[in-house]
Amino acid sequence: MAGDNPPPEPSLPLALARAARRRCPRCGGGGLFRRWIEMADDCPTCKLHFERVAGYWLGAIAVNFTATAAAFLVLLVGWTVLAWPDVPWTWLLVVGVAVTIAAPIAFHPYSRLLWVALERRFSAHPHRGA
Ligand SMILES: [Zn+2]
Cα separation, 57 vs 128, whole angstroms = 17
Categorize the per-residue pLDDT at 2 as very low, low, confident or very high, splitting at 50, 70 and 90.
Answer: very low
The Å distance, Cα 67 to ligand 1 centre, comes to 24
Cβ count near 20 (within 10 Å) = 13
**pLDDT higher than 50, residue 83:** yes
Give me the mean pLDDT over the 4-15 stretch. Answer: 89
Categorize the per-residue pLDDT at 119 as very low, low, confident or very high, splitting at 50, 70 and 90.
Answer: very high
The Å distance, Cα 70 to ligand 1 centre, comes to 29
**pLDDT higher than 80, residue 81:** yes
Q: What confidence score (pLDDT) does residue 90 get?
A: 97
Domain boundaries, the chain: 12-122
The Å distance, Cα 2 to ligand 1 centre, comes to 9
**Chain segment 22-72, per-residue pLDDT in tens:** 999 999 999 999 999 999 999 999 999 999 899 999 999 999 999 999 999
Give me the mean pLDDT over the 7-35 stretch. Answer: 96
DSSP H helices in 21-88: 58-83
Categorize the per-residue pLDDT at 21 as very low, low, confident or very high, splitting at 50, 70 and 90.
Answer: very high
The Å distance, Cα 59 to ligand 1 centre, comes to 19
Q: What confidence score (pLDDT) does residue 123 get?
A: 85
The Å distance, Cα 26 to ligand 1 centre, comes to 5
Q: What confidence score (pLDDT) does residue 28 get?
A: 97
DSSP 18-29: HHHTTS-TTT--
CA distances from 14 to 54, 67, 95, 114 (A): 27, 20, 34, 11
pTM of the model: 0.86
**Closest of 77, 71, 60 to residue 120, by C-alpha:** 60
Cα separation, 54 vs 68, whole angstroms = 24
Q: What are phi and psi of 39, to 5 degrees?
A: -100, 145
